[in-house]
Structure 1
Amino acid sequence: MSDHQSHRKVRVGVQLQPQHADWAELRRAVVEAEEHGVDVAFTWDHFYPLYGEPEGKHFECWTVLGAWAEATSRVEIGALVTCNSYRNPELLADMARTVDHISGGRLILGIGAGWFEKDYDEYGYEFGTAGYRLADLAQALPRIEKRLAKLNPAPTRKVPVLIGGGGEKKTLRMVAKHADIWHSFGDAEVVERKVGILDEWCASEGRDPAQIERSVGVSGDPTATGPRLRELGVRLFTVSLGGPHYDLGQLRDWLAWRDDVNAAAPSDG
């Protein structure tokens, strides 16, 4: 299974959670992460903090991305992940195209079905069931693709779509049909199982698994978990950091590991 991704270099991302921080701190964090050499800077799409004080400071995802597009110059940016329920699919496509242009072609369109009930209740969205939200995502993805193809001006590139989640019957099938990047959480045992199922969906959808970059959320010592995940074909490793003071120490450890791995395996490029 790892053969699918052997041609890709290891990349490291950071998810800068837009919670408990002032804007200046969040902006400074993305600029510093870029200076340290991170490959992708993600935010998330919620309206309230997920950790710590539940009514704490919080900023909205896509306006953050628009500002990050101006504050940075090299790093790719995106949401890990946009909640499909919060915006009309055509509007989301237009927003993504706009941030793509502002950033000079650095946007990743990360999307998922949504799950945080408080967001839905407070902002007046229908929470429904997990099945309802997944079905909504399944019908939104082709609408997003269709709108991206119609917009004038067109996106600067084929905007990469990242789909987050590990649901084996629905989410991974959507990944096989629509995604350029698949993001998951879990240890190597979980990832190995999901990778196998994703490969099966790719086969049934007529998709080459090598077209889908594998991404996993990570923490701790990269030498402890990174090598096995890399064997499974994971190539994007993302560290999550919360405010108000974004400590980039752990991120720097993963960046150093990335550089060592890529230097030792030039054939991956």
Structure 2
Amino acid sequence: MSSHPLRIAVQIQPQHAEYAQIRDAVKRAEEIGVDVAFNWDHFYPLYGDPDGKHFECWTMLGAWAEQTSRIEIGALVTCNSYRNPDLLADMARTVDHMSGGRLILGIGAGWFEKDYDQFGYEFGTAGKRIADLAEAMPRIRARLAAGNPAPTREIPIMIGGGGEKKTLRVVAEHADIWHGFGDAETITRKSGILDEHGTAVGRDATQIERSAGVSEAPEEVADAMVAAGVTLFTVSTSGPDFDMSLVEKWVQWRDAQG
């Protein structure tokens, strides 16, 4: 069994809504009792009307830091390509202080080509984007360490992605939390590969918290996911309504585990 407590997160997707509706969704999430509220780092909706309403990730996290008092907050996940790594680290340090030490720094290599094309970023290849992420991580950590005032805590780093040769190696080297994609079988297999990368880089990767998205009720998938090592479960919800009914079920499941 994992040494990490069972936690429930909600990803409040910043699309197809007015900001007031997003703010309300964060408020409801904290009242329901989630452990973490995530958004995402894109410039356009990922589904629904591709040119629908959408808001930027990190300015929003600053607002969430002030709006909330208990839950952790973060991006699931920040796209490494969109900001200089030193700048991103300083943004993270600032939101860490604004929130009183409740930021999770979620990051990934990036994949949504429309964001890159429309905003003038070089999309390149997946291999190059993963290499850029690997290069950015030591810079991010060095800048966090150099900031004055220092972060309020060692900001947990969550890396999202499942590439078995490259991405999981970056996870093994740098992450406190790994966010994987897929069902319990996929997570189990990739988790084993992550542990092997940990051995290769001289780190006990079994200590890295396992995180995954869930879209079904706990009675259908929780047991298998827990057996796969997952302890952080994220339910996603989209605007304009930000339905929290599935989130509530997962919070109730967490509380029933004792």
TM over 0.5: yes
Equivalent of residue 93 in structure 1, options 89, 95, 102: 89
Equivalent of residue 141 in structure 2, options 140, 145, 166: 145
Does the 8 A contact of 2:188 with 2:229 survive in 1? no
1:121-166 Cα deviation digits (max 9, x unpaired):
0000000000110111010000000100101010000000000001
Q: Following the alignment from structure 2 to structure 1, what is the Cα–Cα distance between the partners of residues 46 and 199?
A: 36
Q: Which residue of 2 aligns with 1:266?
A: none
Q: TM-score, normalised by structure 2?
A: 0.99
Does the 8 A contact of 2:185 with 2:228 survive in 1? no
**2:180 equivalent to 1:192:** no
User: Could you list the runs of 5+ residues in structure 2 that have no partner in the other structure?
Assistant: none
Q: CA deviation at 1:228?
A: 1.0
Q: CA deviation at 1:260?
A: 1.1
Equivalent of residue 52 in structure 2, options 52, 56, 60: 56
Q: Following the alignment from structure 2 to structure 1, what is the Cα–Cα distance between the partners of residues 95 and 249?
A: 30
- SS of 1:168 mapped into structure 2: coil
Q: TM-score, normalised by structure 1?
A: 0.95
Equivalent of residue 224 in structure 1, options 194, 203, 220: 220
Q: Which residue of 2 aligns with 1:154?
A: 150
Displaced runs of 4+ in structure 1, greater than 6 A?
none
Q: Which residue of 1 aligns with 2:244?
A: 248
Q: Which residue of 1 aligns with 2:207?
A: 211
1:18-97 paired onto structure 2 within 5 Å: 18-97=14-93
Q: Which residue of 1 aligns with 2:9?
A: 13
User: Could you list the runs of 5+ residues in structure 1 that have no partner in the other structure?
Assistant: 264-269
Instruction: Work out the percentage of aligned pairs sharing the same amino acid.
Output: 68
**2:159 equivalent to 1:163:** yes
Q: Following the alignment from structure 1 to structure 2, what is the Cα–Cα distance between the partners of residues 32 and 70?
A: 15
